[in-house]
Amino acid sequence: MRKLSVSRAVMYVCVAVYSALCLLPMLLVLIISITDEDAILRNGYSLFPENFSLYAYQVIFTGGSQVMRSYLISIFVTLAGTVAAVLITAMAGYTLANKSVRYRNGLALYFFITMIFSAGIVPWYLMNRSLGLTNNILALIIPSLLFSPFNLFLVRNFMGGVPDSLRESATIDGANDLAIAFRIYFPLSTPVLATIALFYGLDYWNNWWNAIMLIDDKSLYPLQFMLLRLKSEISMLNEMTMLAGADDVTLPAESVKMATAVVTIGPIVFFYPYLQKYFVKGLVIGSVKG
């Protein structure tokens, strides 16, 4: 059995303490979400709740069909948008990494400019309206579909490290760029593609801006926007209750906030461990190659 050195023991302790500190806020959010609202108002946030209550979750899932519909919409938008965005970014990254493409540095500069300058909200909104991206499911996907320049350069740097001899050999065998990209470059770039898939997935899952600007139909509300409206309505009702002098009625404003966080981050927390190894490898390798 290998002897545990002092330095390694210190490292393990530091990692354990840091992990506990990272876990503590998530545990606090979960505990507050199942704590009675009156206890929260009396004692504030606590890791040891005075009274247990699931009332916040009952409020969220009242009319549960709407919540489940919003869940399904968010899942569909996240999956469809992520797959499309990763595919576009991968093809663009392959193009910029291909040394035989003319003006590829000029194209890279064109994409880089978009990281610095933005047209603004008004042109963005008018363009979406002119394209008919209002009150339909595409309004939640296409406006966010254009790839992130950061993700693009991450993919380009990674693919730039793939030996050119592989592409040259495939070209001699008669393969075109489409076949080379999908059969050689994309499989070899799985770590970085999984990394940007996580980035895109998080963006789509947490996106409520498109719904605010482009969606009026309640049946198309994604989960984030629907829960945002629910929290706003509860806060408004609490203010109205206080103005009316009905002190005996307490709506779970604080616990609903935490329950909302639990409901929204749940799928991401369960999904992330499956991508973690690709996430770390893609960031490290993609940052030094090219």
Chain position carrying tokens 């990272």: 22
Cα–Cα distance between 267 and 24 in angstroms, integer?
Answer: 19
The CATH number given to 62-288 is 1.10.3720.10
pLDDT reading at 234 higher than 60: yes
pLDDT reading at 67 higher than 80: no
Q: What is the pLDDT of residue 177?
A: 83
Mean of pLDDT over the chain: 80
Q: Which two tokens stand for residue 16?
A: 């354990």
Sequence-separated (6 or more) residues with CB below 8 Å from residue 236: none
Domain borders along the chain are 62-288
Q: What percent of the chain has pLDDT over 70?
A: 83
Sequence-separated (6 or more) residues with CB below 8 Å from residue 107: 95, 96, 101
Asked whether 37 and 252 are in contact (CB, 8 A), the reply is yes
Question: 52 forms bridges with which residues in the sheet?
Answer: 35
Cα–Cα distance between 16 and 42 in angstroms, integer?
Answer: 33
The pLDDT tens digits for 69-121 are: 888 898 899 999 999 999 999 998 888 888 888 888 888 888 888 777 777 78
The pLDDT tens digits for 235-246 are: 666 666 655 555
| Alpha-carbon separation of residue 197 from 11, 91, 148, 282 (angstroms) | 31, 14, 11, 11
The pLDDT tens digits for 147-202 are: 678 888 888 888 888 888 888 888 888 888 888 888 888 888 888 888 888 888 88
Q: What is the pLDDT of residue 19?
A: 84
pLDDT reading at 68 higher than 70: yes
Q: What is the pLDDT of residue 239?
A: 66
Q: What percent of the chain has pLDDT over 90?
A: 7
Over range 61-73, report the average pLDDT: 75
Sequence-separated (6 or more) residues with CB below 8 Å from residue 102: none
Q: What is the pLDDT of residue 122?
A: 87
DSSP for residue 139: G
Over range 253-280, report the average pLDDT: 73
**pTM for this prediction:** 0.76
Q: What is the pLDDT of residue 81?
A: 92
| Alpha-carbon separation of residue 17 from 2, 13, 26 (angstroms) | 23, 6, 15
| CB atoms near residue 284 (< 10 Å) | 12
Cα–Cα distance between 44 and 38 in angstroms, integer?
Answer: 10
